[in-house]
Structure 1
């Protein structure tokens, strides 16, 4: 397995390595006209100062908000899609792993993710994302339920709110079954697997379709001394897994996808229709006789659209595989004390479901 992990190459932002036709943007140019060119499909290259790119993006935001006035969840999703499409035509040039514009952030991912490319163009939003990710990676994120600081790898989902982790911690402390083997589907930044270890589980098979998640948790395992307890696998659901688990843990995406999903964080946030049926069908084959499935979920999909169904309730209602053993709920606090919600997400609750196999008659 270690050999396989070493062979995994991280997913990284798309770059342009050939010469392109682009409009050069300098500080005193017409920002509105430049944005109109971007929306029309032209590339724009930020020159002189990094802040010039921020100026263009601010004007792009103003332009698109005039066209996208629908404040509903779907309306805001449409706005973000339009912003993403246009903003990724705003480019920065990188040479020898550094941004060449003045007063730009020093982003270590440029060196770690592109050791094989000396000169290229990358979109401004991708640089912003890498810069933000680098700060989290360098500083770390304190997870109080673990009493640890984690360093999430680029392109990996990590929690900014912890109510669901507190629910899982509450359940783990009361769990009295076997702790020999556990499986975590969708390991992400490794938080749930680390919680399992701290609560006495001996062997964990952790899997994810996101290569960066596997690379990141592999790094954390070395740093924390968990290499002998966690076996990592890059694959879909239970692919390459021959373990019969006492506990299967899954913190799936919380929102149904209404767009074509991309690899990485997109798949950590949105789920396709067949994800849950495939999970439950495969989980049945990997559960020990007295095993438990623990799902950490949310009512967010129902909050944003009452027409959405609840995939766990649908499984229990329509199939004869599992029975509900426990269902816990907890209110979700804002990610920051300064955050004042102005939408319906103030009714969101995180959920912990424990399912057990139905006894055969």
Structure 2
């Protein structure tokens, strides 16, 4: 385990520690008036009950939908941007690492993320996010391909569907090459690296641009006794990597970004157009002569827009670096057996690609 990780500090929601001017919202306060104040830039503080915050956010949504009526992509983006800006002016007070309002959830992140600051204000949407993340962390996520339950750290991407992990598990069980060294780019919650370890890989260099992901995987490695197998790196792609690997694994974001990306979860879902060209250029330098690149991807972008480019296919068509050795596809199941899909994911397929250096074929 990389000793530098001991000084790595997690990304966390911004807080306010000074006294500020606010409008206090009680159960009998005019919600519409409070929303108008938030829209023009005034802070509103939730008082009495946690549910009062939910009431204001519902009113904010209703109010903004009157102005943002365009249902197309850009219109919806503009609505979400306006909602995010205004909603983050809705504050909750924290004292002794606990929410002051009544009937509020107990959120352990308030102490974990701010150990030296017990009293502060934080936005209500951030509280909602921390509450959801804390429940997942406490409950854990059962990963059947691993046979274990993982506990994702705050601000870390974790899968809620597992078809692509099943594809990777099947490939790993048939893999007969060297298992000395592997690299995982975008380690996330650590699942692919843990699958590599369980299938006999000895050492893994695992990297991510999300500090919280690195912190979370470090904790899981300690809990699962995998510390000797993984070197963790907070960096972009192969930054700080001096390893040549037998297998390079990458489960990249599946959708091309049409907006400026924020750090953290945004970059786990959307990718900038430079990502794949940079990855393939750097991967070529970190692969052994008989090595393989394994990519887990999806055709979701093409399902949504048939003209959307497929970055792996584009790499194979336009550059002479790699050749396809294997391409597997699998249908994406509904989240529940009782669910009948009506969205674009009805035709989605997850993909596993195995590429090899072109000169060895």
Quote the residue 1:44 is aligned against.
Answer: 44
Deviation at 1:202, TM superposition (A): 0.9
Alignment of 1:155-194 (within 5 A): 155-194=155-194
TM-score (ref. length: structure 1): 0.96
Aligned partner of residue 359 in structure 1, secondary structure = helix
Shift of residue 179, structure 1, vs aligned partner: 0.8
Give 3-state SS (helix, strand or coil) of 2:12's partner.
Answer: coil
Deviation, structure 1 residue 307:
3.1
User: 2:241 corresponds to which residue?
Assistant: 241
SS at structure 1 position matched to 2:179? coil
User: For residues 211-240 of structure 1, what are the alpha-carbon distances to aligned partners after superposition, in whole Å with 9 as ceiling and x for unaligned?
Assistant: 110110000001111111111111110011
1:29 Cα deviation (Å)? 1.3
Task: Give the TM-score, by structure 2 length.
Answer: 0.96
Secondary structure of 1:326's aligned partner: strand
Cα deviations by residue, 1:185-224 (Å, 9 ceiling, x for unpaired):
0000000001111111111110101111011000000111
Aligned to 1:345: 345
More displaced, 128-137 or 334-343? 334-343
Question: What is the CA–CA distance in structure 1 between the aligned matches of 2:74 and 2:305, rounded to whole Å?
Answer: 9
Hey, what's the Cα distance between the residues in 1 that align with 2:330 and 2:146? Answer: 19
User: What is the match of residue 115 of structure 1?
Assistant: 115
The residue correspondences of 1:57-68 to structure 2 (distance < 5 A) are 57-68=57-68
The residue that corresponds to 1:265 in the other structure is 265
- Asked whether the 8 Å contact 2:289–2:360 carries over to 1, the reply is no
Asked if 1:297 is matched to 2:297, the reply is yes
**What does 1:2-81 align with in structure 2 at a 5 Å threshold?**
2-81=2-81
Of the structure 1 ranges 55-64 and 263-272, higher mean CA displacement relative to structure 2 is found in 55-64
Q: CA RMSD in A?
A: 1.6
Residue in structure 2 matched with residue 328 of structure 1 by the alignment = 328
Tell me the matched-pair count: 361
Equivalent position SS for 1:316: helix
Between 1:285-294 and 1:86-95, the stretch displaced more is 86-95
Gaps of 5+ in 2: none
Cα pair distance change 1:47/1:340, threshold 3 Å: farther
Go from structure 1 to structure 2 and tell me whether the alpha carbon gap of 1:190 and 1:82 turns closer, same or farther (over 3 Å shift): same
* Alignment partners' CA distance in 1, 2:337 and 2:42: 41
- Is the 1:164–1:296 Cα contact (8 Å) retained in structure 2? yes
Deviation at 1:348, TM superposition (A): 1.3
d(CA) in 2 for partners of 1:157, 1:183: 19
C-alpha spacing 1:295/1:330, structure 2 compared with 1 (3 Å): same
SS of corresponding position for 1:212: helix
Change (3 A) 1:70 1:205: same
The one-character-per-residue Cα deviations of 1:48-99 (angstroms, maximum 9, x if unpaired) are: 1111001111112222333444444554444333322221111101112111
Q: Is the 2:316–2:324 Cα contact (8 Å) retained in structure 1?
A: yes
SS of alignment partner, residue 29 of structure 1: coil
- Asked whether the equivalents of residues 24 and 47 of structure 2 are also in contact (C-alpha less than 8 Å), the reply is yes
Contact 1:73 1:304 in 2 (8 A): no
Structure 2 Cα separation of the partners of residues 241 and 210 of structure 1: 16
2:128 pairs with 1:128: yes
Task: Give distance in 2, aligned partners of 1:183 and 1:27.
Answer: 54
Decide which moves more: 237-246 or 255-264: 255-264
Q: Aligned with 2:157: secondary structure?
A: coil
Measured against aligned partners, the alpha-carbon deviations of 1:219-267 in whole angstroms (never above 9, x if no partner) come to 0001111111111111110011111100000000111112211111111
Task: Give CA-to-partner distance per residue, 1:298-326, whole Å, 9 cap, x none.
Answer: 11122223332111111111111001111
1:206-245 aligned at under 5 Å gives the runs 206-245=206-245
Query: What CA distance in whole angstroms lies between the structure 2 residues aligned with 1:340 and 1:38?
Result: 39
Contact 2:105-2:131 within 8 A present in 1 as well: yes
